[in-house]
Amino acid sequence: MSLLTYAGPDGEKTWPKKYPFCGGVFQSPIDFHRDILQYDSNLSPLEFIGYNVPSTNQFTLTNNGHSVKMYLSPTMHIRNLPFEYTASQLHLHWGNRNKSEGSEHTVSGKHFAAELHIVHYNSEKYPDVTAAMDKADGLAVLAILLEIGPFNPSYEKIFRHFQNVKYKDQMVQVPGFNIQELLPDRPDEYYRYEGSLTTPPCYPSVLWTVFRHPVKISQEQLLALETAMYCTESDDPEPLEMVDNFRNVQEFRERLVFISFRE
């Protein structure tokens, strides 16, 4: 994939030229606002199996040029979805040091500071994430909205490694920890809709679960996220800061977002 960019001449408006699904249906992210929300009493709490990964295991954290992503353990999976979904990786989306409004999903038109995505694939029907990623029931992504507050020691278990993945293709090992610590309070309260990958190839293959409550990280932690990484390789004479790596919200017509909570 050529250098994926969000802004400028090769920005997200040009994606459909090379990646037709990006101009298609069921695109993510979207804005959650009152008149498209509908309470659904069947939306039960998700179960997170194997999320407590011992520190003797290690996760690989890497900079892939447009996000920072951490590969997860195949022993991690979610239950209580239509199928069992196995964890693949997590990654983040953020803004920049002058504008900490880099979430992908918005609520009543409001951006949060950043957003964490935990990508899972349907391991009941597909052998791996590559086989699953272009299937309608292929992926399930958990989204956690991040906002400024007290220092967050759980997020720090990932953030403290950012200085070792500053440049594209750099990698570092992160000791295992309980990934459930990254989830907000009341994970039983969430938005649910069928959408897509928010980067090319934008396959409409994602069952989105966006938690209602944001998680707090400190101003310093957010600044580290916004300033640590580059899209370019360490020897590139023209370094490009990795900032504003969020897609704008997409049209969402004649569809509903189901909520597990009563407003």
| Residue 120, contacted partner among Zn ion, ligand 5EF, none, CB below 5-8 A by kind | none
| Residue 103, contacted partner among ligand 5EF, Zn ion, none, CB below 5-8 A by kind | none
| Residue 64, contacted partner among Zn ion, ligand 5EF, none, CB below 5-8 A by kind | ligand 5EF
Distance CA 101, CA 31 (A): 14
| Residue 228, contacted partner among Zn ion, ligand 5EF, none, CB below 5-8 A by kind | none
Binding residues for ligand 5EF, per CB under 6 A? 64, 66-67, 69, 88-89, 91, 117, 119, 129-130, 133, 141, 197-199
Residue 117 or 161 having the CB closest to Zn ion: 117
Least Cβ distance, residue 118 to ligand 5EF (angstroms): 9
Residue 53 or 129 having the CB closest to ligand 5EF: 129
**Is 120 a known active-site residue?**
no
Least Cβ distance, residue 34 to Zn ion (angstroms): 25
CB 143 within 8 A of CB 208: yes
Least Cβ distance, residue 91 to ligand 5EF (angstroms): 4
User: Which residue is nearest to Zn ion, using beta carbons?
Assistant: 117
End-to-end CA distance of the chain: 41
CA distances (Å), origin 124, targets 81, 82, 89, 117, 139? 11, 10, 18, 21, 11
CA distances (Å), origin 104, targets 109, 122, 194, 232? 11, 23, 15, 23
Residue 143 or 259 having the CB closest to Zn ion: 143
**Strand runs labelled E in the chain:** 31-32, 37-39, 47-49, 58-63, 68-71, 77-79, 85-94, 106-107, 110-111, 114-122, 139-148, 171-175, 190-195, 206-211, 215-217, 257-259
Least Cβ distance, residue 66 to ligand 5EF (angstroms): 6
Residue 69 or 157 having the CB closest to ligand 5EF: 69
Catalytic residue selected from 33, 66, 161, 213 = 66
Catalytic annotation, residues: 66
